[in-house]
Chains A and B, each alone.
Chain A
Amino acid sequence: MSATLFVQQLINGISLGSLYALIAIGYTMVYGILRLINFAHGDLLMVAAYAALYGMLLFSLPWFISFPLAIIATGAIGILLDRAAYKPLRQAPRISLLISAIGASFLMENLALVLIGGVPKAFHRPNCFSHVIIIGGLHIPVLTIYSPLVTLLLVLGLLYIVFKTRAGKAMRAASRDFEATRLMGIDLDRIIALTFLLGSSLAAASGIMWAMKYPQINPFMGVLPGLKAFIAAVLGGIGNIVGAVLGGFLLGLFEILIVALLPDLAEYRDAFAFLLLIGVLLFRPTGIMGEPFIE
């Protein structure tokens, strides 16, 4: 492989990784507090993509209004998801909570299928995201550069909220010790709602960028990115936001580079992430940034 091609793939990997990273944050935040894999998290990508598209198509909104509105709407749906499917099961066995999450995921996908139809829709990419920059033999779509930058900005914003605000402190306390936080008189329902709002909004931002990158959207578009982003979160150390970001970038690079280096295995691309997951669980179950479990 030529050096140019390698650099090209490296950039692609970082760009894909930034999308995984944004989704992984939501998984890791919810897992940190509720100890639940929010199976329906990936489907929020799809919700955001459709919301953004219909904002532009039906209401003729410009992208810079439609996209933020879609992100807010998805955040609200994230909170609704928690209230409807998870909140009633806070005291229930874990297996029930997970089954509820799977049910919610299927409900969202199939509702979208019934309401919108299964035919993939073309996502109208705004012109300003369609340019391609050419630097010395490298063809780089601007989107490929924008998405890591947007991710970086959003992560910095999130870290500010989590580490510098009162709500963020409560959130961290809840992920350390749920019961003690409750005893300290903190309204956990509000903290959980905030967690879902933040996680879902980030997933929405990722979903919109995903839709611009692969501009054919369908009701099941969120499933695979969602699963892989969860794996990224485990890779980084579940419960750790910086770890999730790191895991996302690593997974993106890993996928792109394996396909680039071993093109014969391209068909098996979607299997790599799971093999990586098995490897991580076997050799370092706490992930890269995770602390060892304390009794």
Chain B
Amino acid sequence: MNPLFQMRHVTKEFGGITAVNDFSITLERGELAGLIGPNGAGKTTVFNIITGVLRPTVGDLTWKAESIAQLPSHLITARGIARTFQNIKLFADMSVLENVMVSCHHSIRSSFWAAMLGLTKHRKEEERIREHSLRYLEEAGLSELAFEKAQNLPYGLQRKLEIARALATEPGMLLLDEPAAGMNPMEKMELAAFIRRIRETREITIFLIEHDMKFVMNLCERIRVMNYGKSIGEGTPDEVRSNPQVISAYLGGTATYAQG
């Protein structure tokens, strides 16, 4: 059987700089995997390639046996891959509820004609989207703040809202780009529990980038390490911890890979 998601020999160049170099990865249904590496290793570029923000220079990506390398972002989301952003990208001037409701847009069935004419069919659809979105807010513990503007939320809740918003697209795979950045240990623990719960209740694949080693090692079952755009190791947390290449990359002994 085909794997859920596969990225094969992907390279991305920006005018002479190779941000991602011959990177391959396979993710199965229900996996909880991590992507780590020093700053500038190309982790976010990998996410941007998966979600269609960037096109790979070389290589292919398949999702449920279909190539998605040339699909635009919104169609990739519609196929079932959702993400959050490293530098939070909420719809700042819209309410918390509206942020989540946007995620239902790709599944809307009534036409804009129905919307403009105010047909009952459309009103029911809006009601459905609203209910659906409120459920996601409740799950993330944000129902109380549904009518607050997203920009007024404290930092940690903004990150949580991003996850709720991504979940509302009903993805089969969720990409989290540094979900714990800027959180205190207490918040990080709660976040880890939230991520585990998401995976368990939905059986979806979660792939996350994180700098906090303790957080990743505790949460993920499988970890991939990147440096200078290249994959330099993969395994269980214990295997990664004892991998000499990984240790040297993190301790600054990067000379061997500097030509990547």
A-to-B contact residues, CB < 8 Å = 291-292, 294-295
B15 in contact (CB, < 8 A): yes
B-to-A contact residues, CB < 8 Å = 14-15, 54
From A291, which residue of chain B is reached at the shortest CB distance?
A: B15
Task: Give the distance in Å from the alpha carbon of A30 to the alpha carbon of B54 in the complex.
Answer: 29
Chain B positions within 8 Å of A291 at CB level:
15
Minimum C-beta distance from B6 to chain A (A) = 24
Chain B positions within 8 Å of A294 at CB level:
14-15
Minimum C-beta distance from B19 to chain A (A) = 8
Task: Give the distance in Å from the alpha carbon of A197 to the alpha carbon of B173 in the complex.
Answer: 54
Task: Give the distance in Å from the alpha carbon of A294 to the alpha carbon of B19 in the complex.
Answer: 12
Minimum C-beta distance from B12 to chain A (A) = 9
- 6 A–B pairs (Cβ distance < 8 Å), ordered by A: A291-B15, A292-B15, A294-B14, A294-B15, A295-B14, A295-B54
Task: Give the distance in Å from the alpha carbon of A295 to the alpha carbon of B54 in the complex.
Answer: 9
Task: Give the distance in Å from the alpha carbon of A129 to the alpha carbon of B157 in the complex.
Answer: 70
Task: Give the distance in Å from the alpha carbon of A292 to the alpha carbon of B14 in the complex.
Answer: 9
Task: Give the distance in Å from the alpha carbon of A292 to the alpha carbon of B16 in the complex.
Answer: 12
Minimum C-beta distance from B222 to chain A (A) = 28
Task: Give the distance in Å from the alpha carbon of A125 to the alpha carbon of B19 in the complex.
Answer: 59
Minimum C-beta distance from B53 to chain A (A) = 9
What are the nearest 4 A-B pairs in CB distance?
A: A294-B14, A294-B15, A295-B14, A292-B15
Task: Give the distance in Å from the alpha carbon of A162 to the alpha carbon of B196 in the complex.
Answer: 57
Minimum C-beta distance from A286 to chain B (A) = 12
Chain B positions within 8 Å of A292 at CB level:
15
From B17, which residue of chain A is reached at the shortest CB distance?
A: A294
Task: Give the distance in Å from the alpha carbon of A294 to the alpha carbon of B54 in the complex.
Answer: 11
Task: Give the distance in Å from the alpha carbon of A282 to the alpha carbon of B44 in the complex.
Answer: 29
From B48, which residue of chain A is reached at the shortest CB distance?
A: A295
From B45, which residue of chain A is reached at the shortest CB distance?
A: A295
Minimum C-beta distance from A177 to chain B (A) = 16
From B12, which residue of chain A is reached at the shortest CB distance?
A: A295
Task: Give the distance in Å from the alpha carbon of A213 to the alpha carbon of B14 in the complex.
Answer: 47
Task: Give the distance in Å from the alpha carbon of A294 to the alpha carbon of B17 in the complex.
Answer: 10
From B15, which residue of chain A is reached at the shortest CB distance?
A: A294
Chain B positions within 8 Å of A295 at CB level:
14, 54
Chain A positions within 8 Å of B54 at CB level:
295
Chain A positions within 8 Å of B15 at CB level:
291-292, 294
Chain A positions within 8 Å of B14 at CB level:
294-295
Task: Give the distance in Å from the alpha carbon of A295 to the alpha carbon of B17 in the complex.
Answer: 11
Minimum C-beta distance from A207 to chain B (A) = 38
Minimum C-beta distance from B56 to chain A (A) = 13
Task: Give the distance in Å from the alpha carbon of A294 to the alpha carbon of B15 in the complex.
Answer: 7
Task: Give the distance in Å from the alpha carbon of A295 to the alpha carbon of B14 in the complex.
Answer: 8
Minimum C-beta distance from A169 to chain B (A) = 23
